[in-house]
Amino acid sequence: MTPGFALAIALALAFAVTNGLHDASNAIAALVTTRGARPLQAALLAAVFNLLGPLLLGAAVADTVGGIVTVSGSTGIVIIVAGLAAAVTWNLVTRARGLPSSSGHALVGGLVGAGVTAGGASAINWGGLDGWHPVGVLGTLVALAISPLLGTAAGFVALRSLRRALRRGTRRWHGPVRGGTWATSAMLAFGHGSNDPRSRWA
């Protein structure tokens, strides 16, 4: 194993940690604050379902991000190291300052910056949409921009529907609602895991 490859693996692990600092707790925040589960229970739930996400649904996001830069030979390792270093640094700075930030945006920006520096604009797969499948930089950014809007719309519909369904609810609903928070936290962690295995580049 070359030193550059070892450094790339170390930075990929560091990126995974900082990505988790930014995003992984979102899945269990409601479960813990409503006292539906103890913090350790919730953290174990998130860990298990984050791991199951890429194992069961694959790594399509990683494949898309991995196709952003096209270079050959040892230059690829250099670009990966530079892109990951930029993304990790950004994640740590925004975390320290309490700023909302997307690890996905940071990684795409780091890879594009490193790719343009090393190989020029032609080394970047600017992409777009291949049918419904996002490809390259533009496709990734489109997906990152649309997903919060879709999530907001889905959350609005779900909340209105639940309020209507439970408007005559009694304390007998306490158990099923608590179980529902466990299920939704597990689903969020599973979705996060399937969406964020970004440490595969080839």
Spatial separation of the C-alpha atoms in residues 21 and 44, rounded to whole Å: 15
Residue with tokens 């409601």: 30
Band (146; pLDDT cuts 50, 70, 90) = confident
- The string of pLDDT tens digits covering residues 6-24 is 898 899 889 888 887 777 7
Residue pair 192/24 in contact by the 8 Å Cβ criterion: yes
Confidence (pTM): 0.71
- The string of pLDDT tens digits covering residues 68-89 is 777 766 788 888 899 999 999 9
Whether the per-residue pLDDT at 59 is higher than 70: the answer is no
Domain boundaries, the chain: 3-195
